Amino acid sequence: MAKSQVTFNKIEKEKKRLKKREEKQKKKEARKAEKEASGTSGIQFAYVDFNGNLTDTPPDPAMREKVEAESIELGIPKKEDREEEEPANKEGKVSFFDHSKGFGFIIDSINQEKYFVHVSGLLEDIEENDKVTYELERGQKGMNAVRVKKI
């Protein structure tokens, strides 16, 4: 004898579906009854005021700001030069470097930040505890030290 294909879970899902449908129908009838009782169907139009709130009164056209089309920038804003803030060559100390894996870390002497360095960014061989100068470039996971050389 074959087992029934209707499981308990399927029955419960069908009950929930029917209950939702009934609630939706009741809400629809309640809105219809409210509309007939009050004679209106709610707010015909919704406006957004200057603070971003929805209202039923239109905004005052005198308070509108004039925006020129030329002043709107499309795309990503241009990067400002940060050369004045930070020197191009930074100094630091090699805290860890693994020659077999080809990477390590440099600790900045000013702000004690740790930067990743790859063997491809070296100008000369470095060892742990060497004082070095380097430049920073943005990598996939953060700032990387490049053009690294001993002091």
State the residue range of the domain holding 137: 90-150
51 and 95 in a single domain? The answer is no
55 and 106 in a single domain? The answer is no
Domains: count for the chain: 2
R_g (Cα) of the chain, nearest Å? 34
Band of residue 65 on the pLDDT scale cut at 50, 70, 90: confident
Q: Is the residue at 53 inside a domain?
A: yes
Q: Is the residue at 74 inside a domain?
A: no
Band of residue 80 on the pLDDT scale cut at 50, 70, 90: low
Q: Is the residue at 44 inside a domain?
A: yes
Band of residue 128 on the pLDDT scale cut at 50, 70, 90: very high
139 and 101 in a single domain? The answer is yes
Q: Hey, what amino acid is at 6?
A: V
95 and 145 in a single domain? The answer is yes
